[in-house]
Structure 1
């Protein structure tokens, strides 16, 4: 609005200057016309004086005075003629007639002067008139200027009123147009600039103007879009960096845990083997009967369980790099399901495999991927202690690695394992891949299954996504890069 006011003020000042110039020219024109009219009246006075002088010389003073009265009676209404004697003027000069003026009259030169009489502007013209051997006389021509002055004042008033009206109309028009075409767009541009400065790039500025301000608004919108894209890209890159750093920290923790696990497994492996061997001998010596045999079997079962845990620790700490080969992912999943079918049946869980027909080629280490599948499927079975349905599905997918926001999408095979268990809470979900973290009851899991599976899949260039809702179950999706279509025939 400040700019609109400035433009309005500039326009009004320009109008005032133009009207002032016009008024000056109009006044000059009227002054010229008025002076021309005065000159005519002055010539009338000179002519009357000359004519009266001739009548005075030819017919006498009385006849001349009679003629003067006739001219005064029938002449212009604004002009009055009067016979004066020069010596009387010298004796009692009227106001405004100076000694120099009297000298001019004595030298037969006309004198003109203006004065205010009773609030009225008048003009006096003194024309000397004399004949030889006669007393010098002066014809006084008195002309009223009041009408001309009223006309000039009225004209000045009209010019002033016209100037004021034009200036007011121009000001109102300029204010309206300035607000609509300048003030309002500038306020919108200002608010948009403030929003951009505050980091808000979503709202677009709509200016339906085909001028510089409209173009500026379009450029501002384009800049906001670019800044929004840059902000989104920066946010994604920042999240990716944070995820990478967290992954590095996680890897470092896994390395430390792996070394610790290897040491514990080494220290406990031999004693557990001795305990298991002795317990087996005691059970055999008792002939499988009696309380001692029962105790020995319990010791043997627990020692076997501890040995399995130690084997998992060793697998976690000594995992070798993958030796990839071309495999059929459907075959690997089917073998894993067949391997775990007895355990699932014992738990009352039905495993269903859903996969497209044909080959689904991947370049992986089959034994490691089968171990990862087994760990995930086992978790799903254990999540349903009262039985249920475990769905394993394989499908192609266009995906992008979550840790690399700038990467392009590519062809992947997604293996989803979906259970009907109690689900995982939102607080526990970020920690499920950490070693020894488990949501199962004590004695039902070591917390290494998903950690091992995550490490294997990561080594193969894939990743695992987990979606879970408490009370409805969990869905674990394993992404592995699809092999070249041309090599599918070699997959087994």
Structure 2
């Protein structure tokens, strides 16, 4: 529900409460005033009639008295007049228009016998009649009685009904007028500025150009909000520009760190590669000497020559793999067989794993489609993770590399991803170090030659590829690194 409708409903509820209280109070006041007026008019009529009644009764002019009562009742049709004598005689006119209930009759007879003033409403809960009985002024044996006047309240109730209808119609007219006025003014002064502000926010979010400032008119709160919004968008756009420049510098720094880390990693692997290259070199040397000693046996010469070819090819492959990890600038995505690329890194580190007694297992589908990915980057990621895992395994252990195609949900969308996980059974990582694991130059193996760049480079490469990396570890039970990279068809 919009703010305008909420405001209109609130105004309606407030008006209903105010008019309800006012209307109720006004009706009660009007009813009380009308009753007071009825009482005063009836009392004034009764007092005026008493003198004439007493004179007429003293002179035994009953017929004149009846004519007087008849004229009064014709002038005021809502009034009936009767004269009660203590001997239970009743003098009444022939023009009575009101029906006197039995209870009223009994009450007036009693008031006449006792010679008392009596007034009451009938019925008491919803009065329709006002009854007033006054005794004669002169108290003699022949003149004892009361003058009774019954006043109908029908006219009063009709006036109250008209007042109630007037208040209700006034309330409905006021509500309709104020609601329409509220909706109109709310649309002009609230909805339009808010819609303009929302449109400006949407344009600012979807645009790469500096936003047009909102027009500012007046000195109300919306004008102040528009001024602050213009100031905020200008500052944010300037900050976006600075952030873009800083991002470019950071990427350049990350590439430099990646190259430096490759050199450091190559240095760490040099000793192991020297051992792996030395073994085939010794074979080559021994077979070359044997070849020099057997000049007359052609088959033996052929067999030894084949061994020399195999071993030199092996040395060439080892050197070629080493050169593949030398610093290079091209990092553009290319069509790549991910399984083969990762297998090359695993094969390269095979000697070091065997030397440490660590078993490496590569779990992957039988085949995966070619995808567009930074081959050097994925190999660098695997190399850094495996190097750290080997360093965490002391005297035997196990490494498991798993590669699969899966999907993840992001922003209510399901996207295919390449999942790479590296698990080891090494010493694990302390909980207080997990939050700093991917920081540059943070290492817990400083004394063993750690530089603190390996995992930082992994994080940088994964981020550049648009992926994510998370680490899980428990001290004494090993670590698990899970990487998700976007799946892009070649």
TM-score in terms of structure 2 length: 0.43
User: More relative contact order in 1 or in 2 (CA 8 Å, sep 6+)?
Assistant: 1
Larger Rg: 1
